[in-house]
Structure 1
């Protein structure tokens, strides 16, 4: 079940100079982890209401819903909070013909938006991922310092971090330290 309050709600980090970096809690959403055989991708896409990408790291969006392919048989699904029960019901109806695992992970994860021209610089402070090779509209599971995150790149200067609630303050603190260093030109 989604919780209405999380530790970062209302938090914001912003550099004063032309908003080169803005970090804030991302809008809440329904989050699901889906494991299903790739040959059942079409049926799963229909149940979700958005085409599920077949390529690892690819994302697809439709009607406020987004799907991220994390592995050959694993997807992370995002949708408006109000759609949660409808998604669960659609996948429950699908189970008899296409066995799968759909797990609501909305209670365990928090979204953090990292935006602006200095976004990549802030993310590189604690993530060894090669951002130069990460195209817009892709996502990966990676580490931010020692915390596992899902990182989605919406466009050149706009990212979303999905992090477990128990690591949210830790990740936020690292981003806050990075923003101070960026502001000081370090």
Structure 2
């Protein structure tokens, strides 16, 4: 993803809000197949600095990246729908295991699951894999059977104090879609 080639540090925001001081991403490693970030997760009052974690994402086709953990049952999928040298607009879909029984059932295409549904939905996991899940032994119970999506669209900006108008317009359009 070329945005990461030219922008080794950027901030994350939604709309035209000024990003939080600790919402930064530092690209610590970039290859053709992966990007590794150190990302700010919030302010630590005791140490008077931002806390951070390291995360690795894998690249898919067409400006998509993802991170999946079968152990703890989540998946994060991001599609960079617009980018220039100053900002990028990202469509995000986060999947978590939950006991949600109200959300719409996700539609499958030829047995394949779509990581980018058009509206929030849930897939039921009816496999026996749940019984042998490492998460089950860690927390002492079976994980929830439903994988449900929630949208987490965002803007990546290179200047923390300036969210370019073209990006806010693309972001607003994405939110309405």
With normalisation by structure 1, the TM-score equals 0.29
Tell me which protein shows more strand as a share of its residues: 2
